[in-house]
Amino acid sequence: DDKIVVFAAASLKGPLDDAAAAFKAAKGGDIAISYAGSSALAKQIEGGAPADLFISADLDWMDHVEKAGQVKDGTRSNWLGNTLVLVAPADSALTLKIADGVDLAGAVGDGKLAMADVKAVPAGKYGKASLEKLGAWAAIEPKVAQAENVRAALALVASGEAPLGIVYQTDATAEPKVKVVDTFPEDSHKPIIYPIAQLTGSTAPLAADFLAYLKSPEATVLFEKAGFKILK
């Protein structure tokens, strides 16, 4: 079977689709990308999914897959990075500087702070860690609305339901109905990393080529344009 099957975190869809199309145009072959939550994909790989490449939205689920012996030796690397931002509806007059002891609770008033699930979704986990580091978590915790994923959190802000939300820079870039209030300091949370690896069950001859292509400058442009950082 020479179809390359890629299991990728859902937030990669835009640029990854473009990269796949470009690769196909150049090298031929067929690429199917299954986008879903990293946890679901990881469990599927553990359950024998016929995937060639796995791109996780955080290190934990890649570790999980590696521990299950599914990562092809020497193929795993930290590929993309992202930054975490605080967003508000585009028409919001709110301004806030993120710093130690920031009064987020006061800023949302009787509204909610929209985040991705703080236990389950990477964006939520990073956000919580950041707020803890900044000493703001205890005050804001009762006002946090945890969404299924970071896109849903974005939707809560975009629809005006929540006055503030914590999402990735990549999401904020593309949503005109929100504006970035401030960026979280990089050292306030573990680095946001999208690891990539080829899997042991990979059979598609071109899988390694595609992995290599993703790291090529040609592809890199696409991801940078979408707001990702390229990790070396």
Partner 1 sequence: MLSFTPEELVAIHLSLKIALVATAASLPFGLLVAWALARRDFWGKTLLNGIVHLPLILPPVVTGYLLLLVMGRKGPVGSILDQWFGIVFAFRWTGAALAAGIMGFPLLVRAIRLSIELVDRRLEQAAVTLGAPPIWVFITVTLPLALPGIIAGIILSFGKALGEFGATITFVSNIPGETQTIPTAIYTYTNVPGGDTAAMRLVVISIVISMAALVLSELLARRVSAKVIGDER
Task: Report the interface residues with partner 1, using CB under 8 A.
Answer: 5, 7, 10-11, 13-14, 32-37, 39-44, 47-50, 60-61, 63-64, 112, 114, 117, 119-121, 144-149, 151-152, 155-156, 159-161, 170-171, 173-175, 226
Nearer to partner 1, 83 or 149 (CB): 149
Nearer to partner 1, 101 or 183 (CB): 183
Residues in the chain: 232
CB of 85 to partner 1, least distance (A): 13
CB of 97 to partner 1, least distance (A): 26
Give the CA distances from residue 197 to residues 36, 51, 215, in Å, rounded to whole numbers and listed in that order.
16, 11, 12
Distance CA 26, CA 36 (A): 27
Token readout for 32 is 């199917």
Q: For residue 159, what is the DSSP state? A: T
- Which residues in 5-31 are b (16+ Cβ under 10 Å) and which e? bbbbbbbbeebbebbbeebeeeeebeb
Nearer to partner 1, 155 or 181 (CB): 155
Closest CA to 98 of 111, 109, 118, 84: 84
CB of 126 to partner 1, least distance (A): 14
Nearer to partner 1, 152 or 231 (CB): 152
Distance CA 104, CA 137 (A): 9
Nearer to partner 1, 39 or 188 (CB): 39
CB of 169 to partner 1, least distance (A): 11
CB of 43 to partner 1, least distance (A): 7
